[in-house]
Structure 1
Amino acid sequence: MRSYLEFEKPVADLEGKVQELKIMAKSGEAVDVEDEIATLQGKADQALNDIYNALSPWQKTLVARHPDRPHAEDYIKGLISDFTPLAGDRKFAEDHAIIAGFGRFRGQSVAILGQEKGNDTQSRLHRNFGMSRPEGYRKAVRIMELAERFNIPVVSFVDTAGAYPGIGAEERGQAEAIARSTDQCLMLGVPNISIVIGEGGSGGAIAIATANHVAMLEHAIYSVISPEAGASILWRDSTKAQEAATNMKITAQDLSELGIIDEIIKEPVGGAHRAKEIVVDRAGTTIENALKHFADMDAAAIKQQRREKFLKIGRHLA
């Protein structure tokens, strides 16, 4: 059963009628409904195309949070062979919000970091809805240090509403852990490729996304704070989240124009959740091309490219 967002209601109605007619046709009733099915399906496809060609920043936020959207686990399963997960930060505990380990991507060894939200109630609780605690970022640092030692590129899949803001996380040094993870990203002498596949929330995202090449899916978002939280701070009214989403410039298109990200990965009409395999394959192409670009660069050149990339952000806005 497909989940529809509120603004997709016209499509939901049409596709619901298509399903009813298909059930009628299978029931053996002596009614020729093939032409009607084709007509309604055409209208549904056109309605979906019209809606997704004119999404507002708030609507893109809802698409980025869609429960059926492919998660880090989907990308790892679809792109990484011989994946060996590594657990624990060697200081406190294992954080299931970040999947980390090593595997092979199209014949090349890579280190993997993936923020995983989960896809049902049980897995979401297990993954803490993708919100990492300090031990998650310290685990990420451990993986990046290993990657550096063995000259293995790092690939990260970003999808989090933000770092976990609980008391325990703060007591164990959440801000320090995020800062050290960000610093480790910046100091890597191996290529670091990051893809924002859903939500890129604040320091919780940038801790593993401070990369040589940062790509975003077409309907992903990347921001310093959620639209709801931003509205609560600016207007003391969380219902103004739609206005905040527009003003904050959180979409892939805005961020590409501002020079904050390097590439937009096109999604199928209707969002990544409608054709997961296609989106995973396109992400793979992006990773492959980026790795080829940095293949002949030494550690000093890789660090310099990353440094210059982040230092120039915002210069043309001054």
Structure 2
Amino acid sequence: MAQHYLEFEKPIADLEAKIEELQALSETTGSFEAEIEALRKKANKLRRDAYANLDPWKKTQVARHPQRPHLFDYLEGLITDFVELKGDRQFGDDQAIVGGLGRFRDRPVVVMGHEKGHDTSSRLTHNFGMARPEGYRKAVRLMDLAERFNLPVLTFVDTAGAYPGLGAEERGQAEAIARSTERGLTLGTPMIATITGEGGSGGAIALAAANRVLMLEHSIYSVISPEGAASILWRDGSRARDAASAMKITAPDLVELKIVDRIIQEPEGGAHSDREVAIQTVGDVLEDELHALEGLSPGELRAQRADRFYAIGRLS
């Protein structure tokens, strides 16, 4: 897969293009090993410096990176014996949310999340991760199953928001999101949500009403997209950068506001730069968090979850 560079990564892209040119020349005109090594060190330093000083808008770009690991990557890297369960038993199956049963490091779990797709065909199949009502009703069905068989629930959140189409609204989009959020809050088994890319609006919280909410270092989590906020506040979508800075959508801000519990560090250059390391790091943190919730009764899990969410926004 060809490397996709973001706007602020252009100097890195230029250096890496020069490295490729020298490597090609080395095959025909002699060795340029010293020059290549010097350029590689310079590119690594540029990448390290760039990712150490990302502003909220740049983090938004990284969170949306097309090569960032998506749900299927986490399923492949962390879940064995996965069996997908489809449909909401009312209308149909929504592929923006995929879920089922599997084993996480030999522990049976219910796992679900948003899938955006990785190319044009899969993005259309999964509707770019924007779920319709039947997706959230499927999530409720899976949480019911988890409680019935006393299984932990792992969710992976990555969506710009719920799908706002006419058909979705006619079938009760807002009610479906509310029911999924409510089911998360009332679940009697451990639930851990991980924001892996974008956590947008009610479409995200419907899968993130959990005991623990984790967030990758360069992900975002907000009630509306920066572009949407800019359009409402200033009637100018081009001011998305200003909105991103004002909205407190990055992991450090959200931990300080007690909306997110823990930040998961990403590889240097973002999760897309070393997908395998990023996925295994998420797995290690999930294992640690699941262990911490072991032994809590259903009542204690519900109380902990309620206390956590009722505390959001309190000033004292």
Q: Given the two structures, how large is their TM-score scaled by the length of structure 1? A: 0.98
Query: What is the aligned partner in structure 1 of residue 25 from structure 2?
Result: 24
Unaligned runs of 5+ in 1: none
Query: What is the aligned partner in structure 2 of residue 241 from structure 1?
Result: 240
Query: What is the aligned partner in structure 2 of residue 186 from structure 1?
Result: 185
Q: Is 2:100 the counterpart of 1:101? A: yes
Task: Give the deviation of 1:215 after TM superposition.
Answer: 0.4
Task: Give the deviation of 1:311 after TM superposition.
Answer: 1.1
Query: What is the aligned partner in structure 2 of residue 263 from structure 1?
Result: 262
Task: Give the deviation of 1:65 after TM superposition.
Answer: 0.3
Aligned-partner Cα distance in 1 for 2:206–2:20: 44
Aligned-partner Cα distance in 1 for 2:52–2:18: 23
Instruction: Give the alignment of 1:59-78 within 5 angstroms.
Output: 59-78=58-77
Which residue type is aligned with residue 8 of structure 2?
F
Query: What is the aligned partner in structure 1 of residue 253 from structure 2?
Result: 254
Which residue type is aligned with residue 165 of structure 2?
G
How many residue pairs align between the two structures?
Answer: 315
Task: Give the deviation of 1:74 after TM superposition.
Answer: 0.3
Aligned-partner Cα distance in 1 for 2:235–2:180: 32
Which residue type is aligned with residue 13 of structure 1?
D
Q: Is 2:189 the counterpart of 1:205? A: no
Instruction: Give the alignment of 1:1-318 within 5 angstroms.
Output: 1-25=2-26, 27-29=27-29, 31-316=30-315
Which residue type is aligned with residue 162 of structure 1?
G
Identity %, equivalent residues: 58
Task: Give the deviation of 1:116 after TM superposition.
Answer: 0.2
Aligned-partner Cα distance in 2 for 1:274–1:50: 15
Alignment partner of 1:210: what SS?
coil
Which residue type is aligned with residue 170 of structure 1?
E
Alignment partner of 2:94: what SS?
coil
Aligned-partner Cα distance in 2 for 1:163–1:32: 54
Task: Give the deviation of 1:28 after TM superposition.
Answer: 3.5
After superposing on structure 2, the runs of 4+ consecutive aligned residues of structure 1 that deviate more than 4 Å are none
Q: Deviations over 1:178-219 (max 9, x none)?
A: 000000000000000000000000000000101001000000
Which residue type is aligned with residue 18 of structure 2?
K
Which residue type is aligned with residue 17 of structure 2?
G
Aligned-partner Cα distance in 1 for 2:267–2:104: 23
Alignment partner of 2:207: what SS?
helix
Unaligned runs of 5+ in 2: none
Task: Give the deviation of 1:32 after TM superposition.
Answer: 2.2
Q: Given the two structures, how large is their TM-score scaled by the length of structure 2? A: 0.99
Aligned-partner Cα distance in 1 for 2:289–2:150: 16
Alignment partner of 1:315: what SS?
coil
